[in-house]
Amino acid sequence: MTQNAHVTLHAIVDRIKTQKTILLPAFAISAFALVGYAAADRQAPVIHSNKIVVPYGTYLNASDFEITDNRDNLDIMDVSIKSGTYEAKQLGTYRVTVTVTDTFQNTTDKEVKVQVIDNEAPVIASRTEGGYIIDVEANGSNNLLDYVKATDNVDGDVSEFITFEGGIDTTVIGEQKVVAHVEDNAGNVAEKTLSFNIKDSVAPTLTQKTQSFDVNYGDTFNPADYFDVSDNFDPSPVLTVKGDIDTKKLNSEQKATIIATDNSGNETKQECTFNIKDIRGPEIKLNTNKVSITEGTSVNWKSLLVSAIDNLDGDVTKTVGISGNVDVNNEGNYTATYTATDKTGNTTVVNIPVEVKSRNAALIQTALGKIGCRYRMGAVGPNVFDCSSFTRWVYRQNGRSLSGTAAVQFNSTQRVDRNALKPGDLVFFKNTYKKGISHVGIYLGGGRFVHAANEKKGVITSSLGESYYAAHYAGGGRV
């Protein structure tokens, strides 16, 4: 209490003692006023902070700064922050002005540096909603980034920077663990152990194979005749039938449920109505599935037929029709057709390929096997020939009779027009080294022939279209 206040107080007391007319309440009020006046606050608050560091995204308030006052607590003081260029979501250092006023109106101003930093690590999480375990469908993607993401408060999506210890195998059902790491641009590192639950929750797919559910009378019912089944994980899902199908009840409608089940227990069901009908022709059995004969060979086509049995009509073998365009006298590929029809009108057709081989096929191979052999007039083979001994030797090697010179062979064979020549026929030439028929070769087909040409060339192949041979061509012959 100051000296002046003390003197004043004694003066008042003396006055009260001498002047008894002053009331006690008036005295009390005056005394408290003088005490308050004596305790008046003249000291301003203190801002201790010169620089503060705040996390990215911080919106400044008084508690971020160190501020004290001789009497007031921070929560009752008036704090004003002039942020200026301060950006809460921009890393860097800023200058802000802080003004603090206490309850006695004492004011302090100070410029404080504020550094915004990133000290928060990215967050690693599942891309899907759920708990701590990430569900992955069996046989799904093995790319972990399809299931995991990383988000940073500053850098945003940093998923592409995630590294993993290990991986997942979606072909194996069960729980698999992987450790994920990611670092943001500020160097904050996150690590998380992720649990993946590889499961098969997808039911098999039923695909209808037929336009209708008609079942042939008397057949063993098989759902696989009407449906294909596939699954994302199980390579062999099972088809079953709920309900009985009696294929002996002709022209009836019967209901059943087709069920596809995979090895994880997932099911797909389809209810169907099956119609029992006679929809298939007789079953034709042959004792061969291909016929191969040599030109000129006759075939007993009925002998190839074993049976024709119908599910309703029984044995209908005698009604089988046989047709085709087979020419056994000409080399080529043909088809023989066997046809059977039951009383319902169902028809079965069985086609078998028929190959008519040239009777000279082996002969041609024998002739071609001598290409390169030498030529000498009068030689008889087997490795040196003239033109007629070459044809004689080749024919005899294949059990065919042929003798004499080129002229003799010409006269002993049947004439064949040039456009009717077949492989193995003989081709004759005249006026080559002497008048008349003087050279012979074996026709190969396609306008070419093989022959013992001369001492210079030996056994070669040539074309009937060559100018020399075209000019001397005399005709074709068939043995």
**Residues 372 and 459 sit within 8 Å (Cβ to Cβ):** yes
Tell the CATH topology of 123-199.
Answer: Immunoglobulin-like (2.60.40)
Backbone angles phi, psi at 276, to 5 degrees: -85, 115
pLDDT of residue 130: 65
Q: Is 291 helix (H, G, I), strand (E, B) or coil?
A: strand
Nearest CA to 295 out of 385, 360, 386, 369 is that of 360
How far lies 285's CA from each of 110, 310, 317, 325, in Å? 109, 12, 9, 21
CATH pick for 361-478 out of 3.40.50.150, 3.40.1410.10, 3.40.630.30, 3.90.1720.10: 3.90.1720.10
Indicate yes or no: pTM above 0.95. Answer: no
pLDDT of residue 361: 87
Domain 46-117 - what CATH class? Answer: mainly beta
**Residues 286 and 350 sit within 8 Å (Cβ to Cβ):** yes
Domain 205-277 - what CATH class? Answer: mainly beta
Half-sphere exposure (CA, 13 Å, Cβ side) for 371?
A: 10
Instruction: State the Cα angle at 431 between 426 and 437, rounded to 5°.
Output: 40
Tell the CATH topology of 283-357.
Answer: Immunoglobulin-like (2.60.40)
The amino acid at residue 243 is: G
Other residues' Cβ atoms within 10 Å of the Cβ of residue 392: 23
pLDDT of residue 2: 39
Per-residue pLDDT of the chain (479 residues; tens, 9 = 90+): 433 333 333 443 344 444 444 333 433 334 444 344 446 889 999 999 999 999 999 999 999 999 999 999 999 999 999 988 999 999 999 999 999 999 999 999 999 999 999 999 999 999 987 678 999 999 999 999 999 999 999 999 999 999 999 999 999 999 999 999 999 999 999 999 999 999 999 999 999 999 999 999 999 999 999 999 999 999 999 999 999 999 999 999 999 999 999 999 999 999 999 999 999 999 999 999 999 998 888 999 999 999 999 999 999 999 999 999 899 988 899 999 999 999 999 999 999 999 998 888 889 999 999 999 999 999 999 999 999 999 999 999 999 999 999 999 999 999 999 999 999 999 999 999 999 999 999 999 999 999 999 999 999 999 999 999 999 999 999 98
Other residues' Cβ atoms within 10 Å of the Cβ of residue 450: 23
**Residues 441 and 359 sit within 8 Å (Cβ to Cβ):** no
Question: The tokens 């209908």 sit on which residue?
Answer: 316
Which positions are catalytic?
387, 439, 451
Cis peptide before 237 (omega within 30 of 0): no
